[in-house]
């Protein structure tokens, strides 16, 4: 396990063993059954290429009215609790006095991507955002606190964990592409990204 620091982003390479990754996939199965993945709509009316759902007190949601946190899935059911196996990773790497209130589950298929964006829908930016990669490799881009300028990219592999706190908390970041079926963790291929956040 190696920890890299790029533009303030703490990148814990190979933080999770294969057995730990497989265990996370298993605890996610009942979450995905209770609150299935959906394709959010953006303000312009188009659909995001990433499908998502959430666990925790709040889930992240986007439609024609904009993006926000809300307490229930688009079909009305409340989000299930964040599995303790996921919370343990937050506790080990962030050492904060708050537990995450949202675990956003993003699924990237073969052609999915996530444009450069800031995580700024939360009330308190002093708490970090923690990101867990499972499945196929994703090309992760890290930018600046404002749009434009130089950026840096690296491949995130299954089992990598990124902590965005301090100077990196409001920096733009995104996923440019997926190396589809580069991992055997998910039988049908694809990448799952778990993003833990303190919301209120």
State the burial class of residue 48 (Cβ atoms within 10 Å of its Cβ: 0-12, 13-18, 19+). Answer: middle
- Pairing status of strand 152-156 against strand 191-197: unpaired
117 is in an annotated binding site: yes
* 90, containing H or E segment: helix 84-94
Say if residues 69 and 104 touch (Cβ distance below 8 Å).
no
160 is in an annotated binding site: no
Say if residues 145 and 117 touch (Cβ distance below 8 Å).
no
Residue 140 makes CB contacts below 8 A (sequence gap 6+) with 153, 154, 155, 156, 162, 173, 174, 175, 176
Alpha-carbon span 71 to 57, nearest angstrom? 6
137 is in an annotated binding site: no
* Binding site as annotated, residues for Fe cation: 117, 119, 173
* Binding site as annotated, residues: 117, 119, 173
């Amino acid at each position: 396990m190696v920890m890299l620091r790029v533009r303030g982003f703490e990148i814990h390479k190979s933080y999770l063993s294969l057995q730990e990754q497989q265990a996370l996939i298993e605890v996610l199965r009942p979450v995905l059954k209770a609150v299935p993945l959906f394709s959010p709509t953006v303000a312009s009316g188009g659909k995001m290429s990433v499908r998502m759902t959430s666990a925790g007190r709040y889930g992240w949601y986007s439609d024609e009215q904009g993006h926000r946190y809300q307490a229930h899935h688009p079909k009305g059911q409340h989000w299930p609790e964040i599995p303790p196996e996921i919370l343990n990773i937050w506790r080990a790497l962030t050492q904060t006095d708050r537990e995450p209130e949202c675990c956003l589950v993003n699924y990237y298929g073969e052609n999915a991507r996530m444009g450069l964006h800031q995580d700024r829908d939360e009330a308190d930016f002093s708490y970090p955002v923690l990101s867990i990669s499972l499945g196929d490799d994703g090309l992760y881009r890290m930018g600046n606190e404002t749009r434009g300028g130089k950026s840096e990219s690296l491949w995130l592999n299954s089992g990598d964990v990124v902590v965005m706190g301090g100077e990196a908390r409001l920096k733009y970041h995104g996923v440019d592409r997926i190396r589809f079926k580069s991992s055997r963790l998910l039988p049908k291929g694809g990448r799952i990204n778990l993003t833990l956040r303190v919301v209120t």
